Amino acid sequence: MDTPTLEHIARLGYGARGAVYCLVGGLAALAAVGSGGQTGSSTDALTSLLAQPFGRIWLGVISVGLLSFALWRLVEAATDADRHGSSAKGLAVRVGHAISGVINAGLAVSAFQLALGRRESKGGDGSAQDWTAWLLSQPFGQWLTGLVGLVLIGIGIGFLKKGWSGDVTRHLVLPAHARGWAVPVGRLGFAARGLVFALIGGFLVLAALHSRSSEAKGLGEALAFIRSQPFGWVLLGITAAGLFAFGVFSFVQARYRRIEAPDLADGKAALKTAAASLPRP
């Protein structure tokens, strides 16, 4: 697999992520104004495509794109393609990319199953409670669950900070005419994503404190929680707009992101050198 191929895979992946976020945000916005949408998980949003013309074909395309994104995230994590370095922060980013790769691979499988007509019994929220129950059942399960929740809260705060004052165009090569609208769209998108991550992390901490997996919430229930607050339809509408904006920004990334794909030939040479330096038995 050469560098141009990896670049195409990465761009296809960013586009697929954009499609998912636009679906989630669009359906949540319809729910906010009472026009028949839903506050559901990513899987629920993909399921809604089944009612659309050529829905199964779109699901198949998105599943390929999500699998591409999962592959790119894993490559990023393994090779440090974005050069985050080996500092604590850099390693944390790379671990986050690896986790993102696993999650997107799972979502790709779900989309492919839906395309084949195999509906799942549970959406993303049920899955969140299932794996939380499994984690709680492990040794030091409450501590582990709470730690995961705190990590998600930290990620959410990081996204909120990036939406407020961070450089959302750091890895982009934007033409001048796109910068005026892409930057505010990116900021709104990261802020909404940060809010959702922080909420999901908070629910996970509560699940750890009370040792009840039923308190864990996925994306859909986090959005439903926002809607249940005073003036919830306004808050949900703003959040939904932000999630849709992140989807649009993902399309911007698909087009303008600087993809620093690793040189696989150099990587193979490095592995051979390392292997040759190992002591012989």
What is the tens place of the pLDDT at every residue in 2-22? 568 889 999 999 999 999 999
Q: Which two tokens stand for residue 258?
A: 């600087």
CA dihedral 193, 199, 200, 204 (to 10 degrees): 150
Residue 281: inside a domain, yes or no? no
Residue 156: inside a domain, yes or no? yes
What is the tens place of the pLDDT at every residue in 38-76? 777 888 889 989 888 898 999 999 999 999 999 999 988
Residue 275: inside a domain, yes or no? no
Q: Which domain holds residue 250?
A: 3-169+176-263
SS3 labels along 180-204? HHHHHHHHHHHHHHHHHHHHHHHHH
Residue 278: inside a domain, yes or no? no
Q: Which band of pLDDT confidence, cut at 50, 70 and 90, is reported for residue 263?
A: low
Residue 270: inside a domain, yes or no? no
Q: DSSP letter at 231? A: T
Residue 280: inside a domain, yes or no? no
Residues 6+ positions from 125 with CB-CB distance below 8 Å: 41, 217, 218, 219, 220, 221
Number of domains, the chain: 1
Residue 272: inside a domain, yes or no? no
Task: With 0.95 as the threshold, say if the pTM is over it.
Answer: no
Residue 268: inside a domain, yes or no? no
Alpha-carbon distance of 71 to 67, in angstroms, equals 6
Q: Say what the pLDDT of residue 192 is.
A: 96
Residue 197 has φ and ψ, to the nearest 5°, of -60, -45
Alpha helices in 33-54 (DSSP H): 42-47
What is the tens place of the pLDDT at every residue in 141-156? 999 999 999 999 999 9
